Amino acid sequence: MKLLAGAPGWTVKADVIVIGSGVAGLTAALNLRAHNLSVLLVTKAKIDEGSTKWAQGGIAAALGPGDSPEDHKRDTLIAGAGLCDVPAVDVLVTEGPEAVRKLIAHGAEFDKSETGEIALTREGGHLRNRILHAGGDATGAEVSRALLAAVKQDNGIEIIENALAIDVLKGKSGAVCGVTLHVIGAGTIDGIGRALARSVVIATGGLGQVYSQTTNPSVSTGDGVALALRAGAEIEDVEFIQFHPTVLWRDESNKGQQPLISEAVRGEGAILLNDKGERFMVGVHPQSDLAPRDIVAKEIFKQMKEHNTPHVWLDATKVKDFKDRFPTIYQSCMENGIDPTRQLIPVSPASHYASGGVKVDLNGLTSVKNLYACGETACTGAHGANRLASNSLLEGLVFGTRIAETIAKNISPQEEPVEDRSPTFLADSSIKMPLQLAMSQGAGVMRSEKSLNETLALLEKLGTHQSNSPRIENWETSNLYQLATAIVKAALIRKETRGSHWRSDFPESHTNWQKHIIQSLNDQGIWSEREEVVKDGA
Ligand code: FAD
Ligand code: SIN
């Protein structure tokens, strides 16, 4: 199955194509250069667009005195609620410190304490202060700046901006040998073209835009996961959508990207209050306001229902030097008429992170030859049912490096693409908003068989609104449509509550559900599902 698109009018070539210019794509590109492979880096908007530059809290790594990868592993496994693949967590926490040191060597500057050491803070689910941050709450911007500076210096990396990857190209052997691209450019590289390569790395980030309110930027339409699905690759655990508990609540009519109030604000002493001014996290979990994210989001949702309010409150008035420690958050609160040093901040959960994604092995390889996935797009198994705070930037750094090493070792000759005669699909962009609303309503923080079946029925109806006009909005909407369908189907299959998957009709976790749900789509657009037991590392 492929998206409806015109015939390619031009061809470009490189050893490896990297799709996406966030922490994952940039890290993979830089490390591929260390192996002397030529890289074509394509990115669908400006090069710094994507979730990475919005990251606030920081990067988790066991670098502080008394901390260890073992301790980081313990916290990651607890947050992951029994669904983390232990070998993937081991890779993340043991290779994490070195990956962060390499980032520092690339010029990333992290905030320092008064004694000149890297300052470490805490976020939900961490039992130690192990979060490095930059510019107070502008960690992602600094990570992006440092990696981009290094990438731009390298003549072996060709960058094409405003280049949307549509589908993969495959050779006679069935292996991936390139992608179709739509470029809004100039001269010869404009419109639809073919980019050919010996390996392709998908690093297209998250899919927050499947929901009507999200912390994710507008580019986060899950293109890479949908593209991988259409290429025949397996996807894993997509029902685990993480809802960030503390997103600035403005009003119901605000759709799309919403301002985040970092968990680090609670790490520095802020507390959650209900409409009666009562603390409600104390007694719910030993870490109270700093419990893992899924637990806090659920409790907020319960409080909102009980008090019939659209939000709860975050009291950050006692946080020391708020304006200097959290300049971005201070500014976005002030722009919305709230002075966080004196007033309570209205917050509610919004879609934030896809813990699942394209199923990959420990080297980022998908189930399709020569196709790799990295960063939020991928499911390495390290996050389980709920990603631990600040483990995402780290995952991009660690697995971006591993992918490059693996590609360098296994690079195959360039194949010529064969014609793909499978059926085409193109959703009309008019269904985007109803789709997002339906997903928030029926497949959001809390789901049930009834709400999911209603959502699926509505999606089926929306899917009949096809377009014959290949353009960006329709391609993106098609990707959102396929992912929404995958999320709802997986959420229906998982008849339990675990991590960020909360079924009101199955409120308990069951050990017989300690397995991954893996989905795929065949050439004709027919879905298959299978289950795989969690890897315990034994
Ligand atoms: P992204 O950074 O999202 O990059 C994806 C890239 O792919 C973009 O360049 C995009 O334009 C491009 N792209 C997408 N589709 C296509 C296509 N079809 N063709 C070509 N290019 C395409 N994580 C942490 O660890 N710590 C934090 O403090 C933190 N804070 C966060 C705060 C916010 C507000 C948000 C939204 C996320 C936060 N996260 C945090 C999560 C983390 O930022 C992301 O998971 C991570 O940055 C993802 O990196 P990535 O490289 O996978 O994707
Ligand atoms: C935050 O700063 O609260 C977000 C951290 C993350 O998503 O890891």
Question: Rounded CA gap, 105 and 524, in Å?
Answer: 48
Question: Rounded CA gap, 131 and 83, in Å?
Answer: 23
Among all ligands shown, which has an atom nearest to the Cα of 259? Answer: 1
HEC assignment per residue over 310-342 = CCEEEECCCCCCHHHHCHHHHHHHHHCCCCCCC
Residue whose pair of structure tokens reads 């793909």 in the numeric block: 420
Among all ligands shown, which has an atom nearest to the Cα of 264? Answer: 2
Average of pLDDT values for 65-78?
97
Q: Is the pLDDT of residue 254 over 90?
A: no
Question: Rounded CA gap, 403 and 362, in Å?
Answer: 9
Predicted local distance difference test score (pLDDT) of residue 468: 96
CB 331 within 8 A of CB 227: no
Predicted local distance difference test score (pLDDT) of residue 537: 79
pLDDT digits (tens, 9 = 90+) for 263-305: 999 999 999 999 999 999 999 999 999 999 999 999 999 999 9
Q: Is the pLDDT of residue 188 over 90?
A: no
Pairing mode, strands 371-373 and 199-202: parallel
**Closest residue by Cα to residue 134 from 148, 120, 147:** 120
Q: Worst-scoring range by mean pLDDT, 184-198, 229-243, 440-454?
A: 184-198
Question: Rounded CA gap, 140 and 217, in Å?
Answer: 13
Predicted local distance difference test score (pLDDT) of residue 251: 82
CA of 70 to the centre of ligand 2 (A): 21
Average of pLDDT values for 95-109?
97
Question: Rounded CA gap, 424 and 166, in Å?
Answer: 12
**Closest residue by Cα to residue 410 from 358, 359, 371:** 371
Percent of the chain exceeding pLDDT 70 equals: 100
Cα torsion 305, 311, 317, 323 to 10°: value is 150
Residue to probe by mutation, ligand 2, list 59, 92, 123, most atoms within 8 Å of CB: 123
Question: Rounded CA gap, 139 and 135, in Å?
Answer: 6
Among all ligands shown, which has an atom nearest to the Cα of 165? Answer: 1
For residue 139, the ligand 2 atom closest to its alpha carbon is: 2
Q: Is 508 exposed, middle or buried (0-12, 13-18, 19+ CB in 10 A)?
A: exposed
Does the beta carbon of 57 sit less than 6 angstroms from any atom of ligand 2? yes
Does the beta carbon of 392 sit less than 6 angstroms from any atom of ligand 2? yes
Average of pLDDT values for 23-46?
98
CA of 355 to the centre of ligand 1 (A): 13
Among all ligands shown, which has an atom nearest to the Cα of 351? Answer: 1
CA of 339 to the centre of ligand 2 (A): 21
CB 131 within 8 A of CB 439: no
CA of 206 to the centre of ligand 1 (A): 6
CB 84 within 8 A of CB 384: yes
Q: Percentages helix, strand, coil for the chain, rounded to the nearest 5? A: 35, 25, 45
Q: Is the pLDDT of residue 68 over 90?
A: yes
Question: Rounded CA gap, 169 and 197, in Å?
Answer: 10
CB 375 within 8 A of CB 25: yes
The dihedral region occupied by 414, where left means phi > 0, alpha psi between -120 and 50, and beta the remainder, is beta
For residue 352, the ligand 2 atom closest to its alpha carbon is: 7
Average of pLDDT values for 95-108?
97
Q: Is the pLDDT of residue 538 over 90?
A: no
Pairing mode, strands 39-42 and 16-19: parallel
CA of 486 to the centre of ligand 2 (A): 25
Question: 10 Å Cβ neighbour count for 287?
Answer: 18
Predicted local distance difference test score (pLDDT) of residue 104: 97
Q: Band of the pLDDT at 187, cuts 50, 70, 90?
A: confident
Predicted local distance difference test score (pLDDT) of residue 190: 87
CA distances from 221 to 216, 382, 521 (A): 9, 22, 18
CB 78 within 8 A of CB 120: no
For ligand 1, atom 36, the nearest C-alpha belongs to 216
Average of pLDDT values for 363-380?
98
Tell me the average pLDDT of the chain: 97
Question: Rounded CA gap, 99 and 43, in Å?
Answer: 23
Give Cα 528 distance to the centre of its chain: 23
Does the beta carbon of 50 sit less than 6 angstroms from any atom of ligand 1? yes
- 3-state SS class at 136: coil
Q: Which tokens sit at 475?
A: 């391609």
Sign of the CA dihedral with 201 first, then 134, 339, and 313 last: positive
Residue to probe by mutation, ligand 1, list 30, 51, 167, most atoms within 8 Å of CB: 51
Predicted local distance difference test score (pLDDT) of residue 189: 85
Predicted local distance difference test score (pLDDT) of residue 102: 97
* Catalytic site positions: 293
Burial 414-433 (b: 16+ CB within 10 A, else e): ebebeebeeebbbbbbebbe
Does the beta carbon of 398 sit less than 6 angstroms from any atom of ligand 1? no
CA of 29 to the centre of ligand 2 (A): 25
Does the beta carbon of 351 sit less than 6 angstroms from any atom of ligand 2? no
pLDDT digits (tens, 9 = 90+) for 18-34: 999 999 999 999 999 99
Amino acid present at 331:
Q
Predicted local distance difference test score (pLDDT) of residue 252: 75
Sign of the CA dihedral with 297 first, then 298, 300, and 304 last: positive
Question: Rounded CA gap, 355 and 238, in Å?
Answer: 7
Question: Rounded CA gap, 330 and 324, in Å?
Answer: 9
Does the beta carbon of 56 sit less than 6 angstroms from any atom of ligand 2? yes
pLDDT digits (tens, 9 = 90+) for 392-449: 999 999 999 999 999 999 999 999 999 999 999 999 999 999 999 999 999 999 999 9
Residue to probe by mutation, ligand 2, list 139, 263, 383, 500, most atoms within 8 Å of CB: 263
CA of 276 to the centre of ligand 1 (A): 36
CB 245 within 8 A of CB 288: no
